[in-house]
Amino acid sequence: MNPISYRGRLAPSPTGYLHVGHARTFWTACERARANGGTMILRIEDLDHSRCRPEFLSAIYEDLAWIGCTWQEGPDCGGPFAPYLQSQRQDFYRAALSRLQASGHVYPCYCSRQDVLRVLGAPHEGDDEPLYPGTCRPDPDGPPRPVPAGRKPHWRFRAPDGRTVSFVDAHLGSQAFVAGCDFGDFVVWRNDDVPSYQLAVVVDDAAMRITEVVRGEDLLVSTARQLLLYEALEGTPPQFYHCPLVRDEAGVRLAKRHAAANLRHLREQGRTPMQIRDGWVDSY
Ligand code: GLU
């Protein structure tokens, strides 16, 4: 008998209505948990106060249930690793930040996103986070950087330049990303006192004993960043399964702004969950 039973998670953010791309990922996650006789956890990723809205949160419960997702632990039903709302887990993230600070894996950074883009001239292709040019990275041979008065820093993880981070994805096979090239030093704590997605997701997946993370292919590079965080925090990473993205007619991946592909809209138009599941690739 396998002593470690399968634990998967659904980790939606209430920043918009769920669309067909989310449905595909969440349905796949639930199918994999069911096939493995495992437990599914619902965790709400509501850290970005400026973008989260209560109506999106209630829609998540409704839409997930409508497409046939079920879970055994979550904000609505409790469980041994509560709370399941990230907005209530600040202490866990703060403890992880302190560990990264104490071990020297992170450094304070005073650059805004605009500063970074100005230095780079153009955003980095294929990933959401621009490759950090190293402006605030401490240089052991140089003078200490002046601390701008009255400004709070972000905390940035120092990526080990040139190191290849590899893993075997359960769907896509071998993956490899080079630190300092495919991704750079990344923010783990924002200067408005909010942990970044990268840090929160690692802390929670580890704390909730997740054994497999199922999510969209757009997060492949983030997985490499997160593997470095697991290492720095001395945690055991889960397995990963990255799902293909659902694209619109022009080949652009669906986003929350594609109103026509959102599940509420499709439901109102009379589509059934079965039709949605049978036709992930469709015109929206
Ligand atoms: N809240 C994240 C999202 O909606 C979850 C990503 C993940 O599964 O790690 O994109």
The string of pLDDT tens digits covering residues 225-262 is 999 999 999 999 999 999 988 887 777 787 766 777 89
Tell me the pairing of strands 239-243 and 212-216.
parallel
* Residue of 194, 197, 229, 230 to test ligand 1 pocket, by largest number of atoms within 8 Å of CB: 197
- Kindly tell me the sign of the dihedral angle through the C-alpha atoms of 32, 34, 38, 42: positive
The amino acid at residue 150 is G
Phi, psi (deg, nearest 5) at residue 6? -65, 130
User: CB of 179 within 8 A of CB of 165?
Assistant: yes
Under DSSP, is residue 39 helix (H, G, I), strand (E, B) or coil?
Answer: strand
Ligand 1 lining (C-beta closer than 6 Å) = 11-13, 45, 201, 215, 219
Q: How far is the CA of 198 from the centre of ligand 1 (A)?
A: 10
Report DSSP state, residue 105. -
Closest ligand 1 atom to residue 215 Cα is 8
CA of 78 to the centre of ligand 1 (A): 20
Beta strand extents in the chain (DSSP E only): 7-10, 39-42, 106-109, 154-157, 164-169, 173-178, 186-189, 212-216, 239-243
Residue 179's Cβ-count burial label (10 Å; 0-12, 13-18, 19+) is buried
Given a contact cutoff of 8 angstroms between Cβ atoms, the answer to whether 206 and 230 are in contact is: yes
The reported pLDDT for the residue numbered 242 is 97
Measure 148 CA to ligand 1 centroid, in angstroms: 33
For residue 11, report the distance from its CA to the centre of ligand 1, in Å. Answer: 5
The angle subtended at Cα 9 by Cα 6 and Cα 14, nearest 5°, is 175
CA distance 122 to 185: 17
d(CA 273, CA 226): 33
Residue that has been written with the tokens 């634990």 in this structure: 7
Q: CB neighbours of 37 closer than 8 A, spacing ≥ 6? A: 5, 6
Give mean pLDDT in consecutive 10-residue pieces for the chain, a chain of 284 residues: 81 95 94 97 95 96 96 98 98 98 97 80 60 92 84 96 98 97 96 96 98 96 98 98 85 74 92 82 44
Q: Could you tell me the distance, in angstroms and rounded to a whole number, from the CA of residue 124 to the centre of ligand 1? A: 21
Q: Whose CA is nearest to atom 5 of ligand 1?
A: 11
Of residues 235, 234, 208, 217, the one with CA closest to residue 86:
208
**Prior bond of 83 cis (ω within 30°):** yes
How many Å apart are CA 120 and CA 115, to the nearest integer?
9
The predicted pLDDT at position 179 comes to: 98
How many Å apart are CA 261 and CA 237, to the nearest integer? 33
What does the DSSP 8-state code read for residue 195?
B
Q: Whose CA is closest to 16, among 273, 261, 283, 277?
A: 261
Nearest atom within ligand 1 for CA of residue 222: 9
Nearest CA to 264 out of 9, 56, 43 is that of 56
Ramachandran angles phi, psi of 40, nearest 5°: -110, 135
